[in-house]
Amino acid sequence: MNNADSPNEPRPTRKVTAAMVAAHAGVSTATVSLVANGKSAGRVSKRNEERVREAIRELGYYVDSIGSSLARGVSSLVILVAPDISNPFFAKLIAGVRGVLGEDYQLLLSVTDAGLSPSATEIRRLLGLRPAGLLVHAPTPLFLSELSSPLPLIALDAPDAPENIPSVNFDVLQGAHDVAAHLAAQGHRRVGYLDATTGTATLRMRREAFLSAAAQLGMQVPAVAVSSSTIEMGDAAATFAAHWEEWKESGITALACATDTHAYGVLQAASTTGVQIPQDLAVTGFDDLPFSTASHPSLTSVRLDAHSVGVQAAQALRQLIDGTPLKESKLQLSSQLIVRASSGGTQ
């Protein structure tokens, strides 16, 4: 019955277009576009500007990003590509990114399968979105090469990123070195290392830096006491259980883990098998996840400032998008050793 437009209710049924706003305000769509995008200064008369704003309000108009993206050749999307967002690390990083991006860009996350870079198909689909920029966590060389088109991109936590790819990294070298120095200072002479099976550059550097620092500090690392597991507590626990006897025989008194998650698994397995931490074995993690204060014993770890990484990466990306050349294409944020009970430090 009542099919007539009711003047007061914006009808949500039909999409409101710039043309409708233009008609309503008695101007052209060009003018609507200018006003809606805040580009009206000095190009639209006060009177028309006011009319358009009014019409936008009344009709509930908003710029359609699809149409806009097509016309401009690029969207206002910033896509964060990350493998394992369940890491609390990412929540902080994202908060940092969002703060910098503000209303200007829209942040969306693309989650890849566990520990993997996106497939070629996924990359195409991402590029099909015409993002204004990409933030990529620990990209593989393959990923970077398949990207081909040169859009603004910042790599995160990617110490191996090629020279021409700007990246924001943690100083894991320092962190790994600090762990080794701490263990040496506690009097350990033979130590083990529990690595992650996923071979990202960060994790490789953590191991290499630890092993070389250990050697420099005069600590032995028996080959049998270097092992690895996936970044899952259960898997790390099983690995510990399977290897503890031979590790013990090898004479190690401390075990450095590639991540806190690994260390949690070790603590758990140690507790069920009656291995005393830190008396029988000192244990350290890396990442300083929130749980590390609650584990038993609390876990010595290396703290990384995820929020700062997010902020710095987003700032750099914005510069790239704006066409400003970056002063430094490689940023490095310091890491900090947090000593807790698991390494026989303070409680």
Partner DNA sequence: CTGAAAGCGCTTACAG
In the bound complex, what is the minimum distance in angstroms from residue 122's beta carbon to DNA?
17
Q: Is 109 helix (H, G, I), strand (E, B) or coil?
A: strand
149 binds, among a second copy, DNA, none (CB under 5 to 8 A by kind): a second copy
70 binds a second copy per the rule CB under 8 A: yes
Closest CA to 261 of 162, 127, 122, 115: 115
Q: CB within 8 A of 186, min separation 6: which ones? A: 254, 282, 343, 344, 345
Q: Is 327 helix (H, G, I), strand (E, B) or coil?
A: coil
Q: Of 59-67, 135-143, 170-178, 179-187, which part binds DNA (CB under 7 A)?
A: 59-67
45 binds, among a second copy, DNA, none (CB under 5 to 8 A by kind): DNA
17 binds, among DNA, a second copy, none (CB under 5 to 8 A by kind): DNA
In the bound complex, what is the minimum distance in angstroms from residue 316's beta carbon to a second copy?
20
Amino acid letter for position 89: F
Strands 106-111 and 77-82: parallel
31 binds DNA per the rule CB under 7 A: yes
Query: One symbol per residue from 70 to 89: x for binding DNA (CB under 7 A), - otherwise; what is it?
Result: xxxx----------------
Helix axes 306-322, 88-101, angle to 10 degrees: 40
300 binds, among DNA, a second copy, none (CB under 5 to 8 A by kind): none
Q: Is 96 helix (H, G, I), strand (E, B) or coil?
A: helix
Closest CA to 179 of 262, 287, 268: 287
Q: CB within 8 A of 21, min separation 6: which ones? A: 29, 32, 36, 52, 55, 56, 59, 61
In the bound complex, what is the minimum distance in angstroms from residue 220's beta carbon to a second copy?
29
3 binds, among a second copy, DNA, none (CB under 5 to 8 A by kind): none
187 binds, among a second copy, DNA, none (CB under 5 to 8 A by kind): none
When binding is defined by CB under 8 A, the residue of 19, 39, 50, 91 that contacts a second copy is 91
Strands 330-333 and 106-111: unpaired
29 binds DNA per the rule CB under 7 A: yes
Do the Cβ atoms of 65 and 75 come closer than 8 Å?
yes
> CA triplet 38, 44, 46: central angle to 5 degrees?
100
In the bound complex, what is the minimum distance in angstroms from residue 60's beta carbon to DNA?
12
Q: Which position has the token pair 């989650």? A: 111
Count of residues binding DNA (CB under 7 A)?
Answer: 33
Q: For residue 100, what are its two tokens?
A: 């910098």
When binding is defined by CB under 8 A, the residue of 23, 29, 59, 98 that contacts a second copy is 98
57 binds a second copy per the rule CB under 8 A: no
58 binds a second copy per the rule CB under 8 A: no
34 binds, among DNA, a second copy, none (CB under 5 to 8 A by kind): DNA
Do the Cβ atoms of 301 and 263 come closer than 8 Å?
yes
Q: Between 59 and 238, name the residue whose CB sits nearer to DNA.
A: 59
Q: Which position has the token pair 């066409």? A: 323
How far is 164 from 194, CA to CA, in rounded Å? 32
When binding is defined by CB under 7 A, the residue of 11, 45, 234, 346 that contacts DNA is 45
224 binds, among DNA, a second copy, none (CB under 5 to 8 A by kind): none
In the bound complex, what is the minimum distance in angstroms from residue 200's beta carbon to DNA?
34
Distances (CA, A) of 327 to 60, 166, 214, 323: 42, 10, 35, 12
Strands 167-170 and 330-333: parallel
Strands 106-111 and 167-170: unpaired
Interacting residues with DNA (CB under 7 A): 15, 17-19, 26-34, 36-37, 39, 42-45, 47-49, 61, 63-64, 66-68, 70-73
Interacting residues with a second copy (CB under 8 A): 12, 15, 62-67, 69-70, 75, 79, 84-92, 94-95, 98, 103, 106-111, 113-114, 121, 124-125, 128-130, 148-149, 232-234, 264-265, 267-268, 271, 290-291, 293-296
